[in-house]
Amino acid sequence: MAASSLVEDYHGRTRTDRHFADPILFWDETLRDGEQTPGVHFSPEEKLRVAERLSDLGVSIINAGIPVVSEEEAEAVRRVAGAGLKAGILAAARTVPGDIEAVIRSGVRYIAIFVAASQVHLRYKLKMTEDQVLDASVASVRRAKEAGLHVAFVTEDTVRAPFDFVERLYKAVQAEKADRLVISDTVGIMTPLTFRWYLEEFRRRVQPLDWSVHCHNDLGLAVANTLTALEVGVTCPHVCVNGLGERAGNASLEEVAVALESLYGVKTGLKTSQLYELSRLVEELSGIPLAANKAIVGYNSFSHEAGIHTHGILAHTLTYEPLQPEVVGRKRRMILGKHTGRAALAEKLKEHRLVVPDAVLSDLQLRIKLGTEAQSKEEMVRFLTEYRARFEQPGIPDEEFWRLAKRAGVPEAPA
């Protein structure tokens, strides 16, 4: 029996509400926003390794970083830009002349010019008026276009800014021939229904030809909101490998891609079988361990222990899996532990062509349960203690900070 006849698929019943762009272009932010994950730093060599893998995966645009940050960052961007990758290489800049010039010198073809839009950002961070932000944005887009760059214009905190200002600002940069307009849910406060309304209203007011979304995961909604944006017709989703990024991270590349392919039937053009290998590389280079229960690439995402589940999987994988693990470069695992059933044990024994009576299976099952329950948790507690210490204060420790401050000429605190 065909798999399609074994499960009810209700996604097709809402197709009239979806207007996917063709093609959808993936814009990866791992090397910029992903590197802004607390405690993460990629060397130029590491950025190139990740960029090569992203390009081979089929990602359309790679944000290599912000050249004005440091000479090492500028070198990393130049190296990625000069590597001859298939993906378009982008660098980011504030609406500051020095930032724009640093991107022009880096050799990239794409630039993302960003500025804050919400009143809280303008008043407390930028200390600028709406008119000042608009003037700086227009001047920055104009200079980048004069230099021959493809320009994406990004506002931080778009969805908490006054809509009239958002409309005025984006229309102004469109008049300067900005190529792509990027809407940001910078602190992850949108819900899918609200975001749908917002994007439809943005399209009605601004009429973008090419638009993009940048969704953060503060409330765990980045992927859902990104998929909502794609349903509305947004061209270019921002994603990060493993969902890296500031605070709780960004929309996960692997989750958005696989959801599009498996739930919507949208061909992304990505080589999804490479997703797990890429995920492990970024995990290694970033030093941020994957959560065991992380969707798609987490260690347990295709693992089964409970007897009811393993029995179902052995009968047909659709019982407890939405897709085959090989689709994303994974393998299925049957975990032996407290909840293991006899069907899984019988399958394990078959690996060595062994078949035993039910009584032996029952005895083995009991021994595994008792052995699992008797295991000490001391080693796990030690691991968690070290893990927490690593992430409770990432980056430079306080002692190192004060040592560097003294070398920089900062005077000692008064007694």
Same domain for 195 and 340: no
pLDDT of residue 345: 87
The pLDDT value recorded for residue 4 is 60
pLDDT at residue 181 is higher than 50: yes
Say if 5 falls within a structural domain: no
Q: How confident is the model at residue 404, as a pLDDT?
A: 92
The pair of structure tokens assigned to 249 is 């991270």
Q: What percent of the chain has pLDDT over 70?
A: 99
pLDDT > 80? residue 251: yes
Report the range of poorest mean pLDDT among 214-218, 296-300, 344-348: 344-348
* Domain ranges, residue 190: 18-286
Please give the residue that has the higher pLDDT: either 120 or 347. Answer: 120
In a domain, 124, yes or no: yes
Sign of the CA dihedral with 280 first, then 284, 285, and 286 last: positive
pLDDT at 236 over 80: yes
Would 10 be classed as within a structural domain? no
Mean pLDDT along residues 192-212: 98
Are 239 and 339 contained in the same domain? no
Q: Are residues 95 and 132 in the same domain?
A: yes
Mean pLDDT value of segment 180-184: 98
Q: Are residues 270 and 214 in the same domain?
A: yes
Specify if 12 maps to a domain: no
pTM for the model: 0.91
Nearest to 163 by CA among 124, 203, 112, 208: 203
Q: Which of 6-10, 91-95, 97-101, 114-118 has the lowest mean pLDDT?
A: 6-10
Q: Quick one: 369 and 382 in the same domain?
A: no
How far is it, in rounded angstroms, from Cα 376 to Cα 378? 6
Judgement on whether residues 219 and 347 belong to the same structural domain of the protein: no
DSSP string, 66-124: -GGG-HHHHHHHHHHHTT--SSEEEEEEESSHHHHHHHHHHT-SEEEEEEE-SHHHIII
Residues 328 and 240 in one domain: no
Q: Which of 191-205, 316-330, 333-347 has the lowest mean pLDDT?
A: 333-347
Beta-bridge partners for 11: none
Residue 298 lies in a domain: no
